[in-house]
């Protein structure tokens, strides 16, 4: 599912609709950006097509996951959404979900891959295997893997490179811990992670960045829209010296995105979609978020 890249006006990405009645998308975005809590950012009329991605984690790897996938695919089937959809189910049902998604608006992705293409790595999956099972994306460097499996920036970059070799789009996750934010280190951490985790030579066609503050994942807490906007603008600026066509790279926000807070986040100029955990396990909630990109 290639990114649809429209012409850029103002040098940034296209914001999503706020979802609020009576507001046109740019009116909402401008209102958000002009509030006293926000840095002044450029807004655009077009840019990377938003991506709404569901990370099911270690949930719904059975008939419930098949039913969830079917509900999302059928729910989206009769609509023209203003975004691309991505489902990242547990690997054991990925091939079945990919079969269901065939010909639909939804793509399918893995939640992790090994950095090597094959070999003696018990329990691991290669990017090539994911591709053969029907994936077109793979998440790498999720904070749960960085924290729970000791993954470093270099390991994440190697996994992204493996994804690229296999023809997958890598969703490279980065984000600060609560302590790093409290210490005022957020922007430095993000710059370091972009430099260490994103392969040189990556570009909009094969790489998506997911900004996921570690403390916001699964907590019900989110940064303020101003903090999200600042982080995304910083990430894009750091990408500019590192990847091809940085303005076209999709930068997703992730961390406790729900239907009731997604509109304000997705309306921000440098936010090109969302990576969604908990709310992606509810087809109605997931689709409600996707519809904000109409
Ligand atoms: C995630 O795990 O990537 C995530 C964003 O989770 P949640 O939406 O539940 O915070």
Instruction: Spell out the domain ranges in the chain.
Output: 50-75+83-116+125-216+224-290
* Distance of CA 4 from the midpoint of ligand 1 (Å): 25
* Distance of CA 165 from the midpoint of ligand 1 (Å): 27
Let me know if 149 is a catalytic residue.
no
Q: Which of 142, 164, 232, 234 is catalytic?
A: 142
Query: What are the pLDDT digits (tens) for 107-123?
Result: 999 999 999 999 999 99
**Three-class secondary structure assignment of the chain:** CCCCECCCCCCCCCCCCCCCCCCCHHHHHHHHHCCCCCCCCCCCCCCECCEEEEECCCCCCCHHHHHHHHHHHHHHHCCCCCCEEEEECCHHHHHHHHHHHCCCCEEEEECCCECCCCCCCCCCCEHHHHHHHCCCEEEECCHHHHHHCCCCHHHHHHHHHHHHHCCCEEEEEECCCHHHHHCCCHHHHHHHHHHHHCCCCCECCCEEEEECCHHHCCCCCCCCHHHHHHHHHHHHHHHHCCCECHHHCEEEEECCCCHHHHHHHHCCCCCCEEEECHHHHCHHHHHHHHHCCC
- Indicate which residue's Cα is closest to atom 6 of ligand 1: 277
Let me know if 142 is a catalytic residue.
yes
Query: What are the pLDDT digits (tens) for 66-107?
Result: 999 999 999 999 889 999 999 999 999 999 999 999 999 999
Residues 208 and 249 sit within 8 Å (Cβ to Cβ): yes
Q: Which residues line ligand 1 (CB under 6 A)?
A: 55, 212, 217-218, 254-257, 275-279
In this structure, which CATH number among 1.10.3720.10, 1.10.8.60, 3.20.20.70, 3.30.450.20 belongs to the domain 50-75+83-116+125-216+224-290? 3.20.20.70
Q: Which of 151, 212, 230, 248 is catalytic?
A: 212
* Distance of CA 278 from the midpoint of ligand 1 (Å): 6
> b/e string for 214-241 if b means 16 or more Cβ within 10 A?
bbbbeeeebbebbbbbbbbbbbbebbee
Using a cut of 0.85, tell me whether the model's pTM lies above it: yes
pLDDT confidence bin for 36, thresholds 50/70/90: very low
The pLDDT value given to residue 78:
80
Which is the closest atom of ligand 1 to the Cα of 256?
Answer: 10
Residues 197 and 172 sit within 8 Å (Cβ to Cβ): yes
The pLDDT value given to residue 46:
54
Query: What are the pLDDT digits (tens) for 256-282?
Result: 999 999 999 999 989 999 999 999 999
Mean pLDDT of the chain: 88
């Amino acid at each position: 599912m290639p990114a649809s890249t429209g012409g850029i006006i103002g040098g940034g990405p296209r914001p999503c609709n706020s979802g609020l009645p009576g507001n046109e998308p740019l009116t909402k975005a401008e209102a958000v950006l002009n509030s006293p809590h926000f840095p002044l950012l450029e807004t655009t009329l077009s840019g990377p097509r938003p991506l709404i991605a569901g990370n099911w984690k270690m949930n719904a790897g059975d008939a419930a996951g098949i039913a969830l996938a079917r509900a999302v695919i059928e729910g989206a089937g009769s609509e023209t959404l203003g975004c691309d959809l991505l489902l990242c189910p547990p690997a054991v049902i990925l091939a079945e979900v990919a079969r269901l998604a065939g010909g639909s608006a939804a793509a399918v992705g893995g939640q992790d891959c090994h950095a090597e293409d094959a070999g003696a790595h018990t329990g691991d999956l290669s990017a090539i295997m994911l591709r053969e099972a029907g994936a077109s994306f793979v998440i790498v460097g999720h904070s749960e893997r960085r924290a729970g499996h000791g993954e470093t920036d270099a390991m994440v970059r190697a996994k992204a490179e493996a994804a690229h070799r296999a023809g997958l789009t890598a969703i490279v996750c980065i984000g600060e811990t609560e302590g790093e934010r409290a210490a005022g280190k957020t922007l430095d951490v993000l710059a370091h992670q972009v430099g260490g985790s994103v392969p040189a030579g990556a570009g909009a066609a094969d790489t998506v960045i997911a900004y996921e503050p570690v403390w916001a994942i699964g907590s019900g807490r989110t940064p303020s829209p101003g903090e999200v906007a600042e982080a995304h603008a910083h990430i894009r600026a750091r990408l500019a010296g590192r990847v091809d066509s940085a303005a076209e790279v999709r930068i997703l926000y992730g961390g406790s995105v729900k239907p009731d807070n997604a509109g304000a986040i997705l309306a921000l100029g440098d936010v090109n979609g969302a990576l969604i955990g908990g709310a992606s396990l509810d087809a109605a909630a997931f689709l409600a978020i996707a519809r904000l990109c109409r």
